[in-house]
Chain A
Amino acid sequence: MRYFRKIILLLISLPLLVSCFEVIEEITLHKNGSGKISLTLNLSQSKSKISSIMLMDSINGHPIPSESDIISFVKKTTEKIKNTAGVSIVKSKLDLENYLLTFSCEFKNVEALNQVIAAFGSNKKPSKIKAQKQFDYNTSTQHFTRSYHYDLSKEFEKVKQADKHILKDASFTTIYRFDQEISTTSNPLSHISPNKKAVFIKVSGSTLVSGENTIKNNIQLIK
């Protein structure tokens, strides 16, 4: 019966070619380097397609995880973050009705924040994690850096045209909030809030992966 449903659902999913999802990275950073991070993966806009393809084993040659695989991933990652030094109040919320996943936690310093980000990746070597740190914050100069180490443009060229569609309407949003006002930002896509304490960047998935746009940012805060 499950096999039968898979065939039918493959037929249904064919016209639904365009898919969208959004990733939102929110960080509240205090003057002393401690703060809170919240990561959101929102696939709600593609829920019909995802519901269809989740009843299959693979699509375009990519294996499809089951609901239990997703639950297990969330549990394992949450546990991994909980065991990270300098991290507290770890929360995760998985809404499989809307395909919405949120992780949040508080961190003591940026080193702990980098460990939280590394928990989502496959890299296990501490030296590599340290070398590829995504965030840096200097408490004395009040300089915050968001790095982005992945040059996926060449890989993106190799991706099948059908798969590129998936990134067409995808987006990556970063929101950083600070105790003090922002003096300068390096990324031209930065939008600074009227109270000058928050900076917002939204880039499309395809321009991020192709290297056309970036989420990298050097933020100088007023001392």
Chain B
Amino acid sequence: MKKKAPLLILFLLATLFTSAQSFYLESKIPADSQVVASINGDRTLELLSINDFEKSDIGKLFLKQLKKGNSTIESVKDFGFKLNSKAYYFHQTNDSISSHNFIVQIANKGNFEKQLLQGGKKNIELLNGTSILQQHGTITAWNNEILVISSSQLSKSYFDTNKQRLKLQKITEEESTWELKKRLKTEWTRTQTLKLLTEKPTRSILTNKSYISSKNNKASASVWVNNYGELMNVFLQGNLKSFRNLGITTFKDMYGINSVNANLFFNETSVELKTTMHVNQQWSNSFKEIYNKKPHKKFNKYFNKDNTLAYMNLTLSTEGLLKSYPSLIADTYGNIIPAYSQETKLAAEFFNLLLDEQAIDELIGGDFLFVLNDLKQKEVSYLSYDYDENYKKKEVKKTKKEFVPDFTFMIGSENEQFVKKLLRIGIKHNYVDNLSSYYSLVLPKKLPINLFVGIKDDIVFLTSSEKQIQQIMDGSIISNIGKHKKAFAKNAMTVYINGTEIAKRIPQEMYRSNATLDSFMTKICTNNLEAQLSTSKFKNNKIHTSLKINTPEKKGNSLQFFFNMVNEIVSKK
């Protein structure tokens, strides 16, 4: 134990040093940044080493391409960047200007400058230990430790409405508006870039609670947006003058979303993109109503994971949606076109008056489950022509195989009587056949599929399999929800795709002739690849979304797995 103590201290110090380095860069990002994105080099290199990358075919190809441009690069390390640190992008905006900034740590200034000068002689200015390169309005500045690249954009609408203020900035009478704008933009960007490199902001992004709570050190890449509505507002207002002519003054509350963040994780047996959306107060009551729905527990009785290639499950309150949607629309358009806010509110109230939301909810409750049970090949006939030696054509019947999906669609409904009445009308007009306990839809004969309808347990079933509908109606269907139970219970929406099982059903002769496709399909068929997209219920004004792809065990980590997969495909080319 005693022997291990110095090692432990060394490890803790190293961790602290790395964290301090990353905080140092992060502390340079101003608190009023609207977007912050980062790539965690340290985490990524833990998962896939530089050595492994450079030895791979992709790595060799990458370096080969770089050398084509007369570069002296032998390794990605020769770029001069500190690859095992975090690199950041941040976006700042105000009423008159917005800027895009990249901030990266430098490991070897000499190497970096060597690569920078590869493309020809550049006019680099030296100012108190800081090197500055000014090119096409973009400012690149660096010292021994940090590189900052910034470019800015002036707000068109601001300078259109403040022409007089702009004129006052003229140095000479000859300076045109275009030249003046260009000069102002460059001067502002240069000042900001140098400030960023040499000073610490009075308040950095590390004082922003929303940003801090979105951070996750295990993420390989992250994006944080301070206020999605405001960002879109600046973008749309700055670019589209015509909106103002329509009386639209702001887009700020159009989306109902405040901050958004996303983190990408390469875990041992999965790759996962997690996003969180913070809904604003005005929209949150509506979201609560829409998401206020318990899952239809009886769906579980008719779900068998062993007969599922893919599914989509949705649980929303129809009543909540119908009640909230008109007022959400009225609020949105009332905010962006204030002159018509009274009219939009009245229209929303009128819409609510017309509908009996509860009755509609009883008919279509907002619970849907679509299950793709199988993909089968079916032989179908078609007409074609053969020709004799003098090219006289003769009609012949040929056959080909087509994919036919085998699926079951479940819709929650408490108003069984109404659905039955609807089916009776269908029978009267020859759209539906009654087959004792279930129904069959009359479809054109040319379709290679049949459709059956049944009603049971407050569920309307629609399936392409007669055997399935018979088993549902006589109660002999076997259920096995397995690992999907949690997703059904907790999520508002889940989309699941078993990529391997679907790929296995595609005949090899369809892709064998294409080596790249063949290699890709073989990889999918031989590894257990499943993808799942899930959206949480609405809680604490937040909606969480996760896109997760499972990767096989004992294949390193998920980054290595996908990298090796792409590498093998590239090698076959």
Asked if A pairs with B, the answer is: yes
Instruction: Write the residues of chain A forming the contact surface with B, with a CB cutoff of 8 angstroms.
Output: 1, 5, 8-9, 11-12, 14-16, 22, 24, 26, 40, 42, 44-45, 47-48, 50-52, 55, 97-98, 100, 175, 177, 191, 193-195, 197-200
Q: How far is the CB of A132 from chain B (nearest CB, A)?
A: 27
Asked if B402 CB lies within 8 Å of chain A CBs, one says yes
Among B375, B385, B447, the residue within 8 A (CB) of A24 is B385
Asked if B426 CB lies within 8 Å of chain A CBs, one says yes
Q: How far is the CB of A52 from chain B (nearest CB, A)?
A: 6
Q: How far is the CB of B498 from chain A (nearest CB, A)?
A: 15
B384 and A42: CB pair below 8 A? yes
A200 and B391: CB pair below 8 A? yes
B390 and A195: CB pair below 8 A? yes
Contacts of B373-393 to chain A: CB distance below 8 A? 375, 380, 382-385, 387, 389-391, 393
Asked if B449 CB lies within 8 Å of chain A CBs, one says yes
**Known A8-B451, A24-B385, A100-B383: A48·B391 in contact at CB below 8 Å:** no
Instruction: Write the residues of chain B forming the contact surface with A, with a CB cutoff of 8 angstroms.
Output: 370, 375, 380, 382-385, 387, 389-391, 393, 400, 402-403, 405, 407, 409, 422, 425-426, 429, 431, 441, 443-449, 451, 462, 464
Q: How far, in angstroms, from A52 to B464 measured CA to CA in the complex?
A: 14
Q: How far, in angstroms, from A16 to B409 measured CA to CA in the complex?
A: 19
Among A12, A50, A98, A175, the residue within 8 A (CB) of B391 is A175
Most buried by B among A16, A42, A44, A197: A44
A16 and B402: CB pair below 8 A? yes
| Additional A-B contact list (9), CB under 8 Å, known A9-B447, A98-B382 | A1-B431, A15-B403, A16-B403, A45-B384, A48-B380, A48-B447, A51-B447, A97-B445, A100-B383
Q: How far is the CB of A68 from chain B (nearest CB, A)?
A: 15
B446 and A47: CB pair below 8 A? yes
Q: Which residues of chain B have C-beta atoms less than 8 A from A22's C-beta?
A: 384-385
Q: How far, in angstroms, from A156 to B286 measured CA to CA in the complex?
A: 46
**Which residue from chain B places its CB closest to the CB of A15 in the assembled complex?**
B403
Q: How far, in angstroms, from A197 to B390 measured CA to CA in the complex?
A: 8
**Known A8-B451, A22-B384: A1·B426 in contact at CB below 8 Å:** yes
A5 and B382: CB pair below 8 A? no
Q: Which residues of chain A have C-beta atoms less than 8 A from B451's C-beta?
A: 8
Q: Which residues of chain B have C-beta atoms less than 8 A from A40's C-beta?
A: 385
Q: How far, in angstroms, from A9 to B464 measured CA to CA in the complex?
A: 11
Q: Which residues of chain A have C-beta atoms less than 8 A from B449's C-beta?
A: 12
B462 and A42: CB pair below 8 A? no
27 intermolecular pairs with C-beta atoms under 8 Å apart: A1-B422, A1-B425, A1-B426, A1-B431, A5-B431, A8-B409, A11-B370, A11-B407, A12-B449, A14-B405, A15-B403, A16-B402, A16-B403, A22-B385, A24-B393, A42-B385, A45-B384, A47-B382, A50-B446, A51-B446, A55-B444, A97-B445, A177-B391, A193-B391, A197-B390, A198-B390, A200-B391
B403 and A175: CB pair below 8 A? no
Q: Which residues of chain B have C-beta atoms less than 8 A from A1's C-beta?
A: 422, 425-426, 429, 431
**Which residue from chain B places its CB closest to the CB of A47 in the assembled complex?**
B446
B426 and A98: CB pair below 8 A? no
Q: How far is the CB of A176 from chain B (nearest CB, A)?
A: 9
**Which residue from chain B places its CB closest to the CB of A48 in the assembled complex?**
B448
B385 and A200: CB pair below 8 A? no
Among A16, A44, A52, A175, the residue within 8 A (CB) of B383 is A44
A200 and B387: CB pair below 8 A? yes
Q: Which residues of chain A have C-beta atoms less than 8 A from B390's C-beta?
A: 177, 193-195, 197-198
A48 and B405: CB pair below 8 A? no
Q: For chains A and B in complex, what number of residue pairs have CB atoms within 8 angstroms? A: 78
Q: How far is the CB of B544 from chain A (nearest CB, A)?
A: 28
Shortest 4 CB-CB distances between A and B: which pairs? A51-B446, A44-B382, A44-B383, A193-B390
**Known A98-B383, A193-B390, A194-B389: A45·B405 in contact at CB below 8 Å:** no
Q: How far, in angstroms, from A193 to B390 measured CA to CA in the complex?
A: 5
Q: How far is the CB of A133 from chain B (nearest CB, A)?
A: 24
A48 and B446: CB pair below 8 A? yes
Q: How far, in angstroms, from A191 to B391 measured CA to CA in the complex?
A: 9
A48 and B384: CB pair below 8 A? no
Q: How far, in angstroms, from A31 to B477 measured CA to CA in the complex?
A: 73
Q: Which residues of chain A have C-beta atoms less than 8 A from B380's C-beta?
A: 47-48
**Known A12-B447, A51-B447, A200-B387: A5·B403 in contact at CB below 8 Å:** no
Q: Which residues of chain B have C-beta atoms less than 8 A from A198's C-beta?
A: 390-391
Q: How far is the CB of B387 from chain A (nearest CB, A)?
A: 7
Q: Which residues of chain A have C-beta atoms less than 8 A from B385's C-beta?
A: 22, 24, 40, 42
A42 and B391: CB pair below 8 A? no
A51 and B444: CB pair below 8 A? yes
Q: How far, in angstroms, from A100 to B384 measured CA to CA in the complex?
A: 10
**Known A12-B405, A193-B390, A198-B391: A45·B382 in contact at CB below 8 Å:** yes
Q: How far is the CB of B515 from chain A (nearest CB, A)?
A: 20
**Known A16-B403, A42-B383, A45-B382: A193·B426 in contact at CB below 8 Å:** no
**Which residue from chain B places its CB closest to the CB of A191 in the assembled complex?**
B391
**Which residue from chain B places its CB closest to the CB of A193 in the assembled complex?**
B390
Among A15, A42, A98, A194, the residue within 8 A (CB) of B405 is A15
Q: Which residues of chain A have C-beta atoms less than 8 A from B446's C-beta?
A: 47-48, 50-51, 97
**Which residue from chain A places its CB closest to the CB of B405 in the assembled complex?**
A15
**Which residue from chain A places its CB closest to the CB of B380 in the assembled complex?**
A48
Q: How far, in angstroms, from A182 to B499 measured CA to CA in the complex?
A: 56
Q: How far is the CB of A212 from chain B (nearest CB, A)?
A: 20
Q: Which residues of chain A have C-beta atoms less than 8 A from B407's C-beta?
A: 11
Q: Which residues of chain A have C-beta atoms less than 8 A from B387's C-beta?
A: 175, 200
**Known A45-B400, A200-B391: A8·B384 in contact at CB below 8 Å:** no
Q: Which residues of chain A have C-beta atoms less than 8 A from B389's C-beta?
A: 193-194
B441 and A5: CB pair below 8 A? yes
Q: How far, in angstroms, from A105 to B461 measured CA to CA in the complex?
A: 52
Q: How far, in angstroms, from A42 to B383 measured CA to CA in the complex?
A: 8
Q: Which residues of chain A have C-beta atoms less than 8 A from B370's C-beta?
A: 11
Q: How far, in angstroms, from A1 to B431 measured CA to CA in the complex?
A: 8
Q: How far is the CB of A128 from chain B (nearest CB, A)?
A: 32
**Which residue from chain B places its CB closest to the CB of A202 in the assembled complex?**
B387
A26 and B447: CB pair below 8 A? no
Q: Which residues of chain A have C-beta atoms less than 8 A from B405's C-beta?
A: 11-12, 14-15
Q: Which residues of chain B have C-beta atoms less than 8 A from A44's C-beta?
A: 382-384
Q: How far is the CB of A67 from chain B (nearest CB, A)?
A: 10
**Which residue from chain A places its CB closest to the CB of B448 in the assembled complex?**
A48
Q: How far, in angstroms, from A91 to B403 measured CA to CA in the complex?
A: 36
**Which residue from chain B places its CB closest to the CB of A52 in the assembled complex?**
B447
**Which residue from chain A places its CB closest to the CB of B407 in the assembled complex?**
A11
**Which residue from chain A places its CB closest to the CB of B449 in the assembled complex?**
A12
